[in-house]
Structure 1
């Protein structure tokens, strides 16, 4: 229940006469961060006499949701709980131990400042006394007429003026140092005064928790904020000789909850309290038949766009992000040291751990789109735990070779990582001329023949295991007949569950080259066209 301050005061005045009112601050002790949101735990130490008491806990962030607020007591029984919106009343400013401590701190700071100011005044008095002595000596009217005595008197006065001048200069220098030394003491007084003012007049942009309690012990107050979160990131270092990838994990945490978290016990959780918690509904599908609908042919420009294949990269990116939000398996990471996270200003990066992933290292080429081959590592997630999605910085041979987005990988799931191009391995794909100047295509009214030649050259000084990926046409229509010959035979057809995609695996020694060839013939009825 959220009530106004006026209502809270009226309720407080209606309490039994034996009920005491207690004000006690809560200290943030632990935070559980989710990818979106955080659970914040506060503790209040309560030492109260027998009976029922009204406890006021100031300083909860504005907008605290009472629906997600939880209170548990160790040695303390908790009754009705409410949140007060507005400035908290100064219930017992002189009796509050926190206020008394703040007053004592202010008094000590003021006394320390006064002692330094007294010392500065004494130094300035020395300087003034020296200046007064100089003025007196300069204004004196000696009653001496004898030249020798006058000479001796002048020398004596000069010596005393010099000594007084030196004393004044030294005192002024000492005063400047003492004045500069006042700044820390003055700042200490300001801070002590501000701390006392904060206790006597809490800010209006915070909530106050009011609870009916009995007993002495510890209260734990748990709240939830949506203005916080964490994101993993990775450093992935390829070690070809060891056949492994060294993975160092980091987390970036942030919060804008309206308060600083200082010295908190931090736990990172993969749970998503605000996400979907149950499976989606499957609705009936009604099938109907009817007369065919005649669709007018689209203009060439639009027809070409509609016939084009969808953008696989964009689809994959959107699909990955959507699936990430739907994951339900929870993993928690407890950070071993206390952590400070300031409100709205810190984007803190913490080191999590290091893992070794056994991987097979090879070179992959897709000459249909690239003239360069790329170094990749393939294997499974052998960490025994889920790898959360995040940005990854890739290293090979000790150098940064790129950055990538690591998708969510379950324990034991296959994974593939790319570690940049190998410029010394060149691939080319060509469709050789066959007749009449056509490039790789001999066309009849109902037949077409396609020849593709792929050449792979290893211009590096190392032997590399290779995988080359290409495609040939495939058909889902009975009247469209396709025959394909592949030389040498592909290691795998329908690679990665994609029809018509071929993959060759072979070792390519340093300085060697290899030729791959496919020949495809397509035949269809003479009254049809190939699209």
Structure 2
């Protein structure tokens, strides 16, 4: 009986604890790790926990959370019974001060517009009334000239006054409507600011004794990301290439990140990390689906039985799973940034606290800056584009942990345009386009006197000759990789012959011609290519040129 009584008291105390009002505490955002998609947010919360079981609400969390990623660090005297996430509905209608200011101004302008529209309508109605009452006197009543002139002057002046008023009011309406349109666009932009639309983590906890404690909370939110972009700088083709590695960070988690410790990672925690497996691919003639499923299941069972017979060395597997870490440390503009690398990704730990607003706008963060030896050369395909492009070749680029991204190009202290870095190359050398150089002129023209058609029996033979003229207008010699092409036959009735290529490396499979040229300062050079195509004269080749 005593045991039953104690059990009843315990159950009643737990029920009473749950029936109590939940305890609410505000969290403080300490640090954020931003991934290519999503971010891990880390909070600290100071809580006062009563003895027994209670419900605790942790406020100021992100507005969207992957619930499976929630982790809460608590003292050993506290046991977490359950965790859940909910939106803070009391704050969903919160608006930023800037939004409220514009919204109030918009209401004022709309009221002013309504007043102007009312005035215009009244004036237009008066004009209609005036037009309907232009009959002077009765049918059998005559009007003398003096009265007629007086009435005519009145109608003239009144109509002119009304029409001028209507015109002015329409102009005022247009201006007010323009102001309204601008304000609505501004409101649309300000609506991206998700500050105030936050979330809550609800905990059911049980404590052995009342205490004050620090809870450490971390979770993943999808509403943040970063992308890489770069500045590529070179003084000239003899100097090394200076690469400034930057990041554009955006977030709309509902929380303004204020003075947080920021890390950027090249990983993606939301991506499925399970390696795919292939099962046998059975082809059957008209067999029902259940037969296919039966054979597939039998095959998979057989594979699992075989795997079970293979002994596993768990210690070796555990050792193999440990990441190999390396650490690079440097400073960018006096800011200490530590780059950590493991087998799967790299991260950049920025030592100074950062502020990033929850408005979906990109926030620039400089990650690192380094000088890289580069081999500069020019590249041109005048058949496609008549300009010469400066290319920077760098080796050992895999150590730089570059990501695909846009790059600003500054060459010889001048901004020359944008390029794109794609480090996912399969070669040992990474080619970076440094933009067009107008000081190298290249012209490709058809030589008319050596281009024509000849008829040979039942065939015709077309000959094409092109001349490529190059001039180096720079003060120093340049190396130029020049490419052109001749056609490749796809039919036994087509005979293609390369007549002249003047020192080019020839790829017979693709028809690509490559010249490696060295042009001295102020020098000119001319290259000529010629080819012929012979085919039946009763046929046409549409893309022959």
C-alpha displacement of 1:47: 6.0
Partner Cα separation in structure 1 for residue 488 and residue 18 of structure 2: 89
Residue matched to 2:314: none
Cα shift readout 1:171-223 (whole Å, capped 9, x = no counterpart):
xxxxxxxxxxxxxxxxxxxxxxxxxxxxxxxx896435222143665432222
Residue matched to 1:214: 207
Q: Is the 8 A contact 1:84 1:208 kept in 2?
A: yes
C-alpha displacement of 1:390: 1.9
C-alpha displacement of 1:36: 2.2
Segments of 5+ residues of structure 1 without an aligned counterpart are 1-10, 89-202, 287-327
Residue number among 412, 415, 420 corresponding to 1:405 in the alignment: 420
Q: Is the 8 A contact 2:419 2:434 kept in 1?
A: no
Q: Is the 8 A contact 2:85 2:199 kept in 1?
A: no
Residue matched to 1:229: 225
Residue matched to 1:182: none
Q: Is the 8 A contact 1:37 1:228 kept in 2?
A: yes
Partner Cα separation in structure 2 for residue 485 and residue 415 of structure 1: 34
Q: What RMSD over aligned residues (CA atoms) do the two structures have, in Å? A: 3.6
C-alpha displacement of 1:385: 3.6
Residue number among 477, 485, 491 corresponding to 2:499 in the alignment: 485
Q: Secondary structure at the match of 2:69?
A: coil
Paired residues for 1:35-46 under 5 Å: 35-46=36-47
Q: Using a 3 Å threshold, how does the CA distance of structure 1 residues 369 and 64 change in structure 2: closer, same or farther?
A: closer
**1:78 and 2:71 equivalent?**
no
TM-score by length of 1: 0.59
C-alpha displacement of 1:62: 4.1
Q: Secondary structure at the match of 2:84?
A: strand
Q: Is the 8 A contact 1:380 1:412 kept in 2?
A: no
Q: Using a 3 Å threshold, how does the CA distance of structure 1 residues 493 and 356 change in structure 2: closer, same or farther?
A: farther
C-alpha displacement of 1:282: 10
Partner Cα separation in structure 2 for residue 209 and residue 481 of structure 1: 78
Residue matched to 1:351: 366
Residue number among 231, 237, 257 corresponding to 1:261 in the alignment: 257
Q: Is the 8 A contact 1:386 1:411 kept in 2?
A: no
Q: Using a 3 Å threshold, how does the CA distance of structure 1 residues 399 and 477 change in structure 2: closer, same or farther?
A: same
Partner Cα separation in structure 2 for residue 351 and residue 272 of structure 1: 20
Segments of 5+ residues of structure 2 without an aligned counterpart are 1-11, 91-195, 284-342
Q: Secondary structure at the match of 1:384?
A: helix
Paired residues for 1:380-459 under 5 Å: 380-382=395-397, 384-409=399-424, 413-434=428-449, 440-444=451-455, 445-459=459-473
Q: Is the 8 A contact 1:382 1:412 kept in 2?
A: no
Paired residues for 1:499-510 under 5 Å: 499-510=510-521
TM-score by length of 2: 0.58
Q: Using a 3 Å threshold, how does the CA distance of structure 1 residues 18 and 462 change in structure 2: closer, same or farther?
A: closer
Partner Cα separation in structure 2 for residue 268 and residue 525 of structure 1: 64
Paired residues for 1:39-438 under 5 Å: 39-46=40-47, 48=49, 51-75=52-76, 76-83=78-85, 206-214=199-207, 217-275=213-271, 277=273, 329-344=344-359, 347-382=362-397, 384-409=399-424, 413-434=428-449
Q: Is the 8 A contact 1:64 1:207 kept in 2?
A: no
Residue matched to 2:531: 520
Residue matched to 2:27: 26
Q: Tell which deviates more after alignment, 389-398 or 450-459.
A: 450-459
C-alpha displacement of 1:470: 0.8
Partner Cα separation in structure 2 for residue 356 and residue 204 of structure 1: 44
The aligned length equals: 359
Q: Is the 8 A contact 1:239 1:246 kept in 2?
A: no
C-alpha displacement of 1:52: 4.5
C-alpha displacement of 1:376: 2.0
Q: Is the 8 A contact 2:244 2:370 kept in 1?
A: yes
C-alpha displacement of 1:255: 1.2
Q: Is the 8 A contact 1:19 1:52 kept in 2?
A: no
Q: Is the 8 A contact 2:25 2:57 kept in 1?
A: yes
Q: Using a 3 Å threshold, how does the CA distance of structure 1 residues 530 and 212 change in structure 2: closer, same or farther?
A: same
Q: Is the 8 A contact 2:377 2:481 kept in 1?
A: yes
Partner Cα separation in structure 2 for residue 204 and residue 37 of structure 1: 18
Partner Cα separation in structure 1 for residue 204 and residue 481 of structure 2: 68
Q: Is the 8 A contact 1:238 1:244 kept in 2?
A: yes
C-alpha displacement of 1:329: 4.8
Partner Cα separation in structure 1 for residue 86 and residue 222 of structure 2: 20
Partner Cα separation in structure 2 for residue 17 and residue 470 of structure 1: 79
Partner Cα separation in structure 1 for residue 470 and residue 532 of structure 2: 24
Q: Secondary structure at the match of 2:439?
A: strand
Partner Cα separation in structure 2 for residue 354 and residue 335 of structure 1: 14
Q: Tell which deviates more after alignment, 424-433 or 15-24.
A: 15-24
Q: Secondary structure at the match of 2:438?
A: strand
